[in-house]
Structure 1
Amino acid sequence: MRAPTAATGETWATVCLRLGYTPAEPAVECWAISYPQAVNCSWVLDPEPLLDTDFVAMYRHGVCGATETGECVRTGLQSCSFGDVQMFSLIPYVVNMTAINPLGAASRFLPFLLESIIKPDAPEDMQVSPIPEETKKLLLEWHPPGSWPFPEYFLLKYCICYARKEGSITKTIGPYEQTSYTLMGVQPGTLHHIQVAAKDFTDSGEFSAWSLPALGTPWVEP
């Protein structure tokens, strides 16, 4: 915006106006995708403040004089993580996320128990193979998510989702403890669409997202 003088029309000053808002309270989610090593948090602002906004992410654990506090270290534009967590603690962790811009600040506190936010990443390397001489069976094989640090000690269980590729009714089976499974009773000569999801063996937290789909057709007699 320019401000001309009344007498000469010359410009004395130029002012640039930007539309923007005070930040809303961040919507925060935290998950232990690499239990028991770390907690990963992410957040969004709605509506977008349309101004440069900084974020301060802190966490605390404990009560009174024994409270442990620390920084949730930024891992992306709107994500952070912290480690050295205490397993099976009945005292909640609390994440304090604050959004700050020139018009103001807003904070959100998110309390949680560590075991309640366990959520593995999706299983990896899903493969579907025919079994020789078996026209109604498929061999399914996969690996635990790479972000799950100790699968031999902190076991996972898996659910399997499958359907014919054309879009028939989806069936879900499990959970199973192993990372392979023989799927029986499938329709001979038909392409199948198969995915798998993981959850902590003790049933804490939530199931992962479904793996990338894999396709396979049972053995067909030559």
Structure 2
Amino acid sequence: MLVHFVSLLCVLSALGAQAMELHHVINTMSTAVLSAPDVHCLCSSVPNRTLCSWADPPGAAPLHYIATYSERQNQPRPCLLIPPGSPPGSPPGSPPGSPPGSPPASAQRMWHCHLPGLKLLSNIILNVTAVYPGGSSSNLSSFMIEDIVKPDPPVAVRVSSPDPRTVLVQWDPPSTWSHLDIFPLKYQIMYQWWSGGQLKSNHLKSFESLRAPVKGLAGGRTYQFQVCAKDVLGLGHCSDWSPPVNMTLPLLHP
């Protein structure tokens, strides 16, 4: 039986950050190709809440996974695996959402692994290997925490109207974000409304407080408000938007 070795080295560069993915497939079957895990990593709290996620590849699921990570020239350490079906609150943390463009979570068996004790400004190398009956397939990726920061959404978003053309939006920081005194967050507000059969939207950016007024609104109109959180230095990505909160302003009579 022929043994095929296929390797692909891909170097990506974006926004001054470098990421590397190496897919190495070892296949001892003559026709089938073993799928490598498609791994996505997010840090929901700097520096110790980094989770990497992947779905079982299509087709036959692997027998098991082996996941290790390392920093700089250190020896690899085992990643703490969180199997599919674990409650969101399971240690070491709730898993991030599915990657953009992926099927709904209900259609996937999502695996997660927790990488504790990472350091800022360090190059992290993660190796996830899917072990099949006839061989194995690995995904080797490299990243820095600063590039994958994505807080969870703000919570307890609430609105009030101090005057007929203003809405005061208030919120609380995500409970999963630690050390706000060392790593503060900034926030953005998105508000939307319907006008002439079209959905309009506007953004207010860079609030470091937990409240902000939205002024110049129209009476008699319903607005929808959402808030996202981002590292105050602009590292990584803004969180997903918080669940929408609606408010209808009173119609002003002449």
Q: TM-score, normalised by structure 1?
A: 0.81
Match of 2:244 among 205, 209, 213: 213
Structure-2 residue corresponding to 1:61: 71
The residue number in structure 1 matching 2:112 is 79
C-alpha distance 151-105 of structure 1, shift in aligned 2 (>3 A): same
Residues in 1 aligned to 2:78 and 2:145: alpha-carbon distance in whole angstroms: 17
The yes-or-no answer on 1:33 pairing with 2:44 is yes
SS in 1 for 2:34: coil
Query: C-alpha displacement at 1:208, in angstroms?
Result: 0.9
Pick from 158, 161, 166: which aligns with 2:187?
A: 158
How far does the alpha carbon of each residue in 1:25-74 deviate from its partner, in whole angstroms, 9 at most, with x for none?
Answer: 1110111112112311001244x1324531111101112xxx14211101
Q: Helix, strand or coil for the counterpart of 2:147?
A: helix
2:161 is aligned, of 120, 130, 142, to 130
Q: List per-residue Cα deviations over 1:108-148 (Å, max 9, x = no partner).
A: 011001211111111111111121xx110001011111111
Structure-2 separation of matches of 1:42 and 1:22: 22
The alpha carbon displacement at 1:97 in A equals: 0.6
Q: Flag the 1:138–1:212 CA change in 2: closer, same or farther, 3 A.
A: same
Matched, 1:199 2:230: yes
Q: Could you say which residue in structure 1 is the equivalent of 2:90? A: none
Q: Which residue of 2 aligns with 1:4?
A: none
Structure 1 counterpart of 2:130: 99
Contact 1:58–1:70 (CA under 8 A) maintained in structure 2: yes
Whether contact under 8 Å (1:162, 1:172) holds in the other structure is: yes
Q: Distance in 2 between matches of 1:203 and 1:51?
A: 38
Whether contact under 8 Å (1:24, 1:45) holds in the other structure is no
Which whole-Å CA distance do the structure 1 matches of 2:62 and 2:145 have between them? 32
1:147 aligns with 2:176: yes
Bigger shift: 74-83 or 193-202?
74-83
- How many residue pairs match? The answer is 195
Name structure 1 gaps, 5 residues minimum: 1-20
State the SS of the aligned residue for 1:170. Answer: strand
Distance in 1 of aligned mates of 2:136 and 2:59 = 11
Please report the TM-score for the alignment, with normalisation by the length of structure 2: 0.71
Q: In structure 1, what is the equivalent of residue 24 of structure 2?
A: none
Q: Residue 53 of structure 1 aligns to which amino acid in structure 2? A: L
Larger Rg: 1
Matched-pair contact (CA < 8 Å) for 1:22–1:104:
no
Instruction: Quote the Cα distance in structure 1 between the aligned partners of 2:185 and 2:121.
Output: 17
